[in-house]
Chains A and B, each alone.
Chain A
Amino acid sequence: MIDTIPWILLPLGGFIALTAAIGVLRFPDFYSRLHPAGTGDTLAQLLVLLGLLPLVTAWEDGAKLVMVTVLLFVTTPTATHAISQAAHLEGLRPWTRKEESDG
């Protein structure tokens, strides 16, 4: 049972990381690119690092892995929020259908 957890979580996390990267590359606008960057990366790191957790042999490695997971789970949405707020304060306007995409 515990051997199948990495086989489920690690490829799923890698797939979501790839999906988030494709979204950041393909979406038409800065504010829409924030969405895969914030949510996709957070979910991908959570799945990958939780999938690595059954593979640890020493307890220090497990503790470090949990610390990295909690740190990234808190800081990635915070950084994305700070970037979006800075862009909003700078006066970057959201893209609407009337204008041309800057892709």
Chain B
Amino acid sequence: MNPVLIASVLVLIGLALVLIRTLRGPGVFDRILGVNMIGTKAVILLCLLGFLEDRGGFLDIALLYALINFVGTIAILKFVEFRRLGA
């Protein structure tokens, strides 16, 4: 038994539950919240998978995913609020 494997399984179950809320959630803000939370959990899962497979390249993907997730959330919020992405 491996602590990395235990944490991966727990985070994966949590990701499935948040996916249910994202698909069901009433209103656009619940869905944005769910997508943001799925992104955070995906970053955690990528780091865990990198240690599970013993491949350091997964950490680069996790770093990039964390950056894109934050910028994407802010962009979606701005589009929902102003209906355009320009200045």
> Which residues of A pack against B, CB within 8 Å?
6-7, 10-11, 13-15, 17-18, 20-22, 24-25, 30, 33-34, 37, 41, 44-45, 48-49, 51-52, 55, 58, 60-61, 64-65, 67-68, 71-72, 75-76, 78-80, 82-83, 86-87, 89-90, 92, 102
Contacts and interface: CB of A to CB of B under 8 A. Distances in A.
A17 B14 contact: yes
* A-B residue pairs, 9 tightest by C-beta: A14-B10, A21-B14, A14-B7, A21-B17, A10-B3, A64-B59, A75-B70, A10-B7, A87-B29
A75 B66 contact: yes
A18 B36 contact: no
A48 B77 contact: no
Contact of B36 (A37, A58, A102): A37
Interface of B: 3-4, 6-11, 13-15, 17-18, 20-21, 26-27, 29-30, 32-34, 36-37, 40-41, 43-44, 47-48, 50-51, 56, 59-60, 62-63, 66-67, 69-70, 73-74, 77, 80-81
Consensus secondary structure, chain A interface: helix
A37 B37 CA distance: 6
A37 B73 CA distance: 14
B18 A24 contact: yes
Nearest to B13: A18
6 contacts: A13-B7, A22-B17, A30-B29, A41-B40, A58-B56, A86-B80
A78 B51 CA distance: 28
B56 to A, nearest CB: 5
